[in-house]
Amino acid sequence: MTSHWGILVSDPCLQNQFTQVELRSLKSQFMSMRRESGRLNIGDLASKMSRLRVVGENLSEEERVSYIHDLYQNSDQDVDFELFLKVYLKLQTFASSRTGNNNAKNSSAFLKVATTTLLHTISESEKASYVTHINNYLAEDEFLKKYLPLDPSTNDLFEIAKDGVLLCKLINVAVPTTIDERAINTKRLLNPWERNENHTLCLNSAKAIGCTVVNIGTQDLIEGRRHLVLGLISQIIKIQLLANLNLKKTPQLLELVDDSKDMEELMSLPPEKILLRWMNFHLKKTEYKKIVTNFSSDVKDAEAYAHLLNVLAPEYTNPLTLAVKNPFERAKLVLEHAEKMGCKRYLTARDIVEGSPNLNLAFVAHIFQIRNGLSTLAKQNSLLESLLDDTQDSREERVFRLWINSLGNSTYINNVFEDVRNGWVLLETLDKVSPGIVNWKIANKPPIKMPFKKVENCNQVVKIGKQLKFSLVNIAGNDIVQGYKKLILAYLWQLMRCNILQLLKNLRFHSHGKEIIDADILQWANTKVRSSGSQSHIYSFKDKSLSDGIFFLELLSAVQPRAVNWGLITKGVTDQEKMMNATYIISIARKLGCSIFLLPEDITEVRNVVEIKYLISFSILYALFIKSIYNHIFI
């Protein structure tokens, strides 16, 4: 059944093996399989479970048929959701034993065998580093300062994280104004509902800044599961430290490239790769002849660090650093050099020689923030402007990139226009939006060297788009391979819209299976707001009256009356008042469970139509979610 806390199963042992996020994903797959023929029996599972990629890729259909038959002889037995989960777990375990390890090939989620929790360990060095970071950046926070500084030798970090406030505040340190702090519940003692709201706000906001939180649920944070809490904190801090590693924030990075082609390549690189390129750029000026390709084994001897710091801060050079033979002693001298430059220590000498990738990455990123050693040339500035002039494309790219990454695909994308060109990411996304629609037997998995293989993937992407009734006139797979921005954005716009409507269909918004159109969503929103006593009304998703935010606030309040604190709302007359309302709207929507990637400007300027639809559509989802407590409508 579904409760206001999520999906519940009667077997507590079974319940404990999945997070709520995993249960929702599996529930969606189960419901899709059952809808196809009206029922689902044991005899159907071997074929239909091929869609679950972990099982489908590691076991042949014959192996699945044989294994399931050994477990359940009656092939006509009806399958409910709990039996579906049990069969899935057993197949997963069988697949793992066949591959000779604890994780089936490409396993990105779903299985959480009870015993695996014993294998989750955390790095004490990383915990100590992140605690130091939190103590430094949140020491003056009005709410948290009574709890700080935290002691890195204890589990205080995981205890204070249980109410969600610290994680929300840390997100705002990483990407300022992501969360309107008026939306955070900050009472000294929070009830379970308020604590759950904070963690929901945290997770949806984390997704909105680029964190991967597919396998983390609110209950995991409430219970303070150490490896999950630390993993989330690690991602948030990484985003903060790498924030300036792009050409918009640091145009001086143009010094790393020679021409516009190199610059386009640089713009498509993830921040970690840009950081490595920056490091090697400076190392070329020294006697160091190796190329640093990672933040682990390549920096263990600390020689690369010694040369890098000598270039960036020659005034603190210590001849002993390169003269000593012991890597540990050299690492200590490197850290002394960095300390004189004003770099906070994110790691110890032991972390360097042991090759801790996360802490070494944090260390180099912090050095870049303090002193990057780059200069800007006038001719390069004009070159940069020519490639960064399309603000709207950039804003839409951000929305689609964050949305795709939030789905939990195996491939994390850093640039939509570059990373979808082989078709694989789009196929994965289509499979998440409409499970089972992709023919994986003819899909080509990266790395793809042959161009025609990319075209094959993208041809299937276009074919599926037409199945889903997308408007794809004169669009061919090769257009995606060539990276035509307008065509890629048009496809993704329709795919995201399809996802919204699919969510609504899954909640049985129409009892007779009628296709949902924009007019249905608008009518519901207007009716809901009017039922709360307001006279507000909108005529389309582009209605300019949306810019003051009042309609959204009234809609969210109508769905959940306690959600909006009207004492904090402005009249939305001036631009500043509109912006204050917009930031509050986004945080309240995320707090109630809405996974959206809007910027406040998208509301005040009424620009991003598909995201505004998402915001209103979410209110429908949330209302039916509450209703499902009583009517057993499954998500």
> What local confidence, expressed as pLDDT, does residue 10 receive?
55
Give the Cα separation of 436 and 51 in Å (integer).
6
Q: Is the pLDDT of residue 333 over 50?
A: yes
Q: Are 105 and 99 in contact (CB under 8 A)?
A: yes
Instruction: Out of 93-102, 175-184, 212-221, give the one with best mean pLDDT.
Output: 175-184
Q: Residue 17: pLDDT above 90?
A: no
Candidates 128, 149, 127; CA nearest to 137 is 149
**Greater pLDDT, 433 or 511:** 433
Structural element, H or E, at residue 6: strand 6-7
Q: What is the mean pLDDT of residues 23-44?
A: 77
Q: Confidence class of residue 93 from pLDDT cuts 50, 70 and 90?
A: confident
Q: Which two tokens stand for residue 507?
A: 């909640």
Question: Which residue would you say has higher pLDDT here, 197 or 506?
Answer: 197
Q: What is the mean pLDDT of residues 327-354?
A: 91
3-state SS, one letter per residue, for 296-363: CHHHCCCHHHHHHHHHHCHHHCCCHHHHCCCHHHHHHHHHHHHHHHCCCCCCCHHHHHHCCHHHHHHH
All residues at 6 or more sequence positions from 147 whose CB lies less than 8 Å from its CB, including other chains: 156, 160, 166
pLDDT at 272 over 80: yes
Q: What is the CA radius of gyration of the chain?
A: 26
The residue written with tokens 């997963």 in the block is 92
Please give the pLDDT value at position 388: 53
Q: Which two tokens stand for residue 97?
A: 């034993």
Per-residue pLDDT averaged across 55-61, rounded?
Answer: 72
212 against 13, higher pLDDT: 212
Q: What is the mean pLDDT of residues 534-547?
A: 88
**pLDDT at position 521:** 81
CA 625 to chain centre: 23
pLDDT at residue 514, as a whole number: 65
Is the pLDDT at 121 greater than 80? The verdict is no
Residue 183 has pLDDT above 80, yes or no: yes
Residue 247 reports pLDDT greater than 90: no
Instruction: Give the pLDDT mean for 469-496.
Output: 91
Given a cut of 60, is residue 364 above it in pLDDT?
yes
Question: Mean pLDDT: which of 385-399, 432-446, 491-505 is highest?
Answer: 432-446
Q: How far apart are the first and last CA of the chain?
A: 10
Q: Give residue 56's pLDDT.
A: 66
Q: Flag the least confident range among 136-140, 292-296, 373-377.
A: 373-377
Half-sphere exposure in the Cβ direction for 151 (13 Å, CA) = 4
pLDDT for residue 40: 85
The rounded distance, in Å, linking the Cα atoms of 81 and 30 is 7
pLDDT at 414: 83
Mean pLDDT is lowest, of 89-93, 109-113, 515-519, for: 109-113
Residue 308 has pLDDT above 50, yes or no: yes
Q: What are the distances in angstroms from CA 60 to CA 95, 439, 606?
A: 10, 15, 50
Distance CA 93, CA 113 (A): 8
| Residue 510: per-residue pLDDT | 47
- The answer, yes or no, to whether residue 518 has pLDDT greater than 60, is yes
Integer Cα distance of 303 and 106 in angstroms:
36
Between the ranges 53-57, 120-124, 578-582, where is the mean pLDDT highest? 578-582
**Packing angle of the helix pair 124-137, 226-241 (nearest 10 deg):** 60
Instruction: Please report the pLDDT score of residue 573 as a whole number.
Output: 93
614 DSSP 8-state letter: H
CA distances from 503 to 35, 118, 123, 421, 587 (A): 15, 35, 39, 27, 21
More confidently predicted of 404 and 3: 404
Residues 6+ apart with CB under 8 A from 291: 280
- C-alpha to C-alpha distance for 457 and 59, rounded to whole angstroms: 23
Taking 80 as the threshold, does the pLDDT of residue 548 lie above it? yes
- Cross-strand pairs, 41: 78
How large is the average pLDDT for residues 377-382?
52
pLDDT of res. 65? 83
Tell me what pLDDT residue 72 has: 83
Host H or E run for residue 582: helix 575-591
With a cut of 80, say whether residue 156 has pLDDT above it. Answer: yes
Q: Looking at per-residue confidence, does 217 or 185 come out higher?
A: 185
Whether residue 528 has pLDDT greater than 50: yes
Specify the pLDDT at position 15: 53
Confidence of residue 297 (pLDDT cuts 50, 70, 90): very high
What pLDDT was estimated at residue 43?
A: 86
| Distances in whole angstroms, Cα of residue 278 to Cα of each of 322, 362, 372 | 21, 14, 8
- Give the highest mean pLDDT range of 216-225, 453-462, 465-474, 483-492: 453-462
What is the average pLDDT across 233-253?
89
**Weakest-pLDDT range from 202-206, 332-336, 408-412, 586-590:** 408-412
Q: What percent of the chain has pLDDT over 90?
A: 43
Residue 635: per-residue pLDDT:
35
Residue predicted with more confidence, 41 or 179:
179
Report how many helices (DSSP H) and strands (DSSP E) the chain contains, helices first.
31, 2
State the Cα–Cα distance between residues 38 and 31, nearest whole angstrom: 10
Write the single-letter amino acid at 50: S
- State the pLDDT at residue 166: 96
Mean pLDDT of 403-426: 88
- Banded pLDDT at 128 (limits 50, 70, 90): very high
432 conformational bin, left if phi > 0, alpha if psi -120 to 50, beta if neither: alpha
Per residue in 157-182, pLDDT (tens digit) is 999 999 999 999 999 999 999 999 99
Residue 108: both structure tokens together? 């990105």
The residue with greater pLDDT, 431 or 625, is: 431
Q: From CA 216, how far away is CA 225, in angstroms rounded?
A: 10
